[in-house]
Amino acid sequence: MISSEQAQEFINTAHQAAEFNLLKCSSGNLSMRLSDRHVAVSASGAWLGSLQPEQIAICNIETGESLNSIKPSIESYFHVGILKHRRDVNVVLHFQSSYATILACSNPENYIDKLHNTIEMPAYIGQPAIVEYAMPGSMELAESIIDKFKTENTNIAILKNHGQVSIGVDSKDAIQKAVFFEMNCMIALTSLSLKSLSTDQQKEIADLGKA
Ligand SMILES: [Zn+2]
């Protein structure tokens, strides 16, 4: 169900997410599409920064059920749901980087316009989605997250008082979006004379990305 190359890539991605300071200890979890029917999800309680091969749960994409008796993260339901509904997405990273999490706890609606401060925001992320607080691991939270990602335009979700979710066609894409989003949040929260990109400038860069 998982090749040694896929397992190695999964582990490398988990470790990289920690190296880029996207996580705090046991916070965050990761998933990756393995085939039409199977996805890999980091195990319950695992620290991504030191993830080991025996901490990769293989789950059925339709039911979410673990097929290798390794218990997936309690947040696996939204991972599997996003991968099921977005066939263009192969990697889902749930992270908790510092500035992005301050923003998630600070009425993120007020910062949406301020986030478009460098070209990476329109180029790689676009408009982030905001998900209302619900208990971590609950179906209610998972359904709200999946719902936001059903639109092709959502690349990052801000989970109020919790953290963030990034998606990508591959590991690099998902990590890159998370790293740039953290940078855009840091600028939005700390700049003393912030001037965001104009709507026209954002559109110009977004169009360039599609060309
Ligand atoms: Zn979480």
**Mind listing the pLDDT tens digit for each residue in 21-64?**
999 999 999 999 999 999 999 999 999 999 999 999 999 999 99
* φ/ψ (deg, to 5) at 160: -55, 135
Average pLDDT over residues 67-84: 97
CB 154 within 8 A of CB 165: no
Give residue 52's domain range.
Answer: 4-210
Q: How far is the CA of 29 from the centre of ligand 1 (A)?
A: 8
Which CATH number does the domain housing residue 94 bear?
Answer: 3.40.225.10
Q: From its phi and psi, is residue 66 left (phi > 0), alpha (psi between -120 and 50) or beta?
A: beta
Using the predicted structure, report yes or no on whether residue 83 has a pLDDT greater than 80.
Answer: yes
Q: In the chain, how many domains are there?
A: 1
Distance 44 CA to ligand 1 centre (A): 11
How far away, in angstroms, is 58 Cα from ligand 1 center? 19
Are 98 and 22 in contact, with CB atoms under 8 Å apart?
A: no
- Confidence check: pLDDT of 211 > 70: no
- Give the pLDDT confidence score for residue 207 in this predicted structure: 87
Distance 37 CA to ligand 1 centre (A): 24
pLDDT in tens, 155-199: 999 999 999 999 999 999 999 999 999 999 999 999 999 999 999
Sign of CA dihedral 96, 97, 100, 102: positive
pLDDT in tens, 94-140: 999 999 999 999 999 999 999 999 999 999 999 999 999 999 999 99
Rg of the chain in Å (alpha carbons): 17
User: Do the Cβ atoms of 170 and 91 come closer than 8 Å?
Assistant: yes
More confident residue, 120 or 209: 120
Higher pLDDT, 153 or 164: 164
Distance 165 CA to ligand 1 centre (A): 9
Calpha distance 163→17 (Å, rounded): 14
Quick check: 190 and 161 in contact, CB under 8 A?
A: no
